[in-house]
Amino acid sequence: MYLTTSIAVLITLVEQTELAEEPMATHVHLICLAVQPLMETAPLPQMEPSALMRLVDLWVLRLRGICAHQRAHVARAMVIVEVHQIIVRQHQGVKQLSELVMIQAQREMGEDYCTSPDCQFNYGPACDANKIPSGTNTSSIQRNKVGSVLYGSAGIYDCVQAGDMALTFDDGPFIYTSHILNLLQQYNATATFFITGNNNGQSFQQKRYVEEFTDDLLGKGEIDNTSLAWPALIKRMYSEGHQVASHTWSHPDLSNITSLQRKNEMWKNEMALRNILGVIPTYMRSPYSSCTAESGCEGDLNDLGYHITFFNLDTSDYLNDSPTLIQNSKNIFDAAVNSSNPSTDEFLVIAHDIHNQTSQVLVEYMLQGLKAKDYKPVSVGTCLGDPMENWYRTDTSATLGS
Ligand SMILES: *[C@@H]1O[C@H](CO)[C@@H](O)[C@H](O)[C@H]1NC(C)=O
Ligand SMILES: *[C@@H]1O[C@H](CO)[C@@H](O)[C@H](O)[C@H]1NC(C)=O
Ligand SMILES: *[C@@H]1O[C@H](CO)[C@@H](O)[C@H](O)[C@H]1NC(C)=O
Ligand SMILES: *[C@@H]1O[C@H](CO)[C@@H](O)[C@H](O)[C@H]1NC(C)=O
Ligand SMILES: *[C@@H]1O[C@H](CO)[C@@H](O)[C@H](O)[C@H]1NC(C)=O
Ligand SMILES: *[C@@H]1O[C@H](CO)[C@@H](O)[C@H](O)[C@H]1NC(C)=O
């Protein structure tokens, strides 16, 4: 009988690559610090060691998959994925250990640490972050600052209109987004989508509950690729009155890259959205809620004419994407909303449209809950009293047409 109450696995990806200037340099990247609290893998306590190791093997495969599409472009790359540290403890002390690792994971990789493709950011042209959408560079377009909503700076956390609830969704679009759009339509609700341009890590999410896991993860691709479903979904958001906003091109920590990289993260997402909609957003949310003044991020986003949009109600849906765990997110929502008063309170809510349970369960729960309490489901711009014409800038070059 194995009394393990929790397991934490740290996995590092070690790449040995022959580069022209740096023969056989060893690049060690912590690409993913995966933490699996036991609640997610219910049968673990009864698992035999061999079954446990098989689970660890699956994780290694998943992590390899995240960067697999990049590796093909790296000449003579040898990839060694090693289980750097496997901690399996029995009896007491384990929960505490797992929590420590979780905190470290969030510090290292941010809240959605396994889902974004920003590994190897500085590595080479094959990295998602370094892909460039077609059409003209938006860096030189006019960026007038209109309206009364704060640009750059420490950012926005709250709506200004009591009774408003701004539901926001990060990281999409993805295969779960159309169902969310259907629900919003059914409930006559408006929401805001913070879109990531090139977010291949979502394949990992998609495969999360697939029993027989294979290593042939396909990337999600770029949002403006007309062969894919994403341009039509983004057009649908826009035409149905939802607010389309930016969540960067490849989801890096904006406080941890250079100023030019940071600006390109915004310009490239603008180019892709411009290719789809003919306009670029003035609202953004920084990945991992990270955009410090010291790094220059606040100032850069001010220069680029962006409203930095945070939230005051975090559903933690990304931590609860399973049929049993999603109740935690419902509880978080209820705990904040049930005791509130729409004549004095407002909510700026964060969730993620890349999670099945968010799409299947949480969104409708929130829509019913907010209607029951007489909140108005509006976009971020509306909840800030900012008219729709201020949500976008025009850049009509290189649009895809209808
Ligand atoms: C856009 O143009 C600026 C200014 O020339 C340049 O620094 C930046 O790298 C360009 N970005 C892209 C994606 O072409
Ligand atoms: C939908 O919402 C709009 C704006 O809040 C309102 O004018 C309209 O009456 C609503 N329609 C229905 C069917 O609830
Ligand atoms: C667009 O997506 C298709 C289908 O996945 C793919 O074959 C093609 O290479 C992509 N185009 C670009 C420019 O990435
Ligand atoms: C990013 O973080 C790493 C590790 O903390 C640090 O060494 C590096 O200097 C940071 N880079 C930038 C551009 O801030
Ligand atoms: C909040 O209200 C909903 C709907 O009335 C109810 O189902 C739920 O149990 C309440 N939750 C809390 C934490 O009060
Ligand atoms: C999404 O969740 C639903 C309901 O929980 C489940 O039936 C379905 O198989 C899931 N789909 C995917 C792609 O995970």
Give the model confidence (pLDDT) of 250-268 as tens digits.
888 899 889 999 999 999 9
What H or E segment, with its residue span, contains residue 328? helix 326-337
pLDDT for residue 62 is more than 60: no
Kindly list the protein residues whose Cβ atom lies closer than 6 A to any atom of ligand 5: 334-335, 338, 372
The pLDDT score that the predictor gives to residue 338 is 96
Beta carbons within 8 Å of 162's beta carbon, 6+ residues apart: 342, 343, 344, 345, 346
End-to-end CA distance of the chain: 62
- Of all ligands present, the nearest one to the C-alpha of 260 is 1
Going by alpha carbons, the residue nearest to atom 9 of ligand 4 is 256
Calpha distance 172→1 (Å, rounded): 43
Nearest-atom index, ligand 4, CA of 258? 13
Place of tokens 């609640």: 39
pLDDT of residue 362: 98
44-53, 96-105, 133-142, 232-241: lowest mean pLDDT where? 96-105
- Could you tell me which CATH number the domain at 128-394 has? 3.20.20.370
> How many Å apart are CA 205 and CA 217, to the nearest integer?
11
State the Cα–Cα distance between residues 226 and 231, nearest whole angstrom: 6
Q: What percent of the chain has pLDDT over 70?
A: 62
Say yes or no to pLDDT of 238 above 90. yes
DSSP E strands in 56-163: the ranges are: 78-89
Confidence of residue 354 (pLDDT cuts 50, 70, 90): confident
Ligand number nearest CA of 209 is: 6
Is the pLDDT score of 366 beyond 70?
Answer: yes
Q: What percent of the chain has pLDDT over 90?
A: 52
| Mean pLDDT of all residues belonging to the chain | 73
β-strands 6-17, 78-89 pairing? antiparallel
Q: Cite the active site residues.
A: 170, 352
**Contact present, 308 and 284 (Cβ < 8 Å):** yes
- Map residue 1 onto helix, strand or coil: coil
Residue 305 Cα to ligand 1 midpoint, Å, equals: 17
Q: Is the pLDDT of residue 18 over 50?
A: no
Give the Å distances, CA to CA, from 388 to 53, 154, 244.
53, 23, 11
Question: Once rounded to an integer, what is the mean pLDDT over residues 307-326?
Answer: 92
pLDDT value of position 129: 74
pLDDT at 56: 52
Pocket lined around ligand 4, Cβ cut-off 6 Å: 256-258
**Within the chain, which residue ranges are assigned CATH 3.20.20.370?**
128-394
pLDDT for residue 148 is more than 70: yes
Q: Supply the pLDDT for residue 102.
A: 38
Over 60: is that where the pLDDT of 52 sits? no
96-105, 297-306, 342-351: the lowest-pLDDT one: 96-105
> What average pLDDT does this structure show over 228-251?
95
Measured CA to CA, the distance from residue 382 to residue 153 in angstroms comes to 20
Q: Is 325 in the pocket of ligand 6 (CB under 6 A)?
A: no
- In whole angstroms, give the CA distance from residue 110 to residue 108: 6
In the predicted model, is pLDDT for residue 123 greater than 90? no
Atom of ligand 6 nearest to the CA of 208: 14
Q: Is 262 in the pocket of ligand 1 (CB under 6 A)?
A: no
Tracing tokens 């913070």 back to the chain, one arrives at 194
Contact 130 CB / ligand 1 (< 6 Å) = no
Q: How large is the average pLDDT for residues 71-99?
A: 30
Count the neighbouring beta carbons within 10 Å of the beta carbon of residue 98: 20
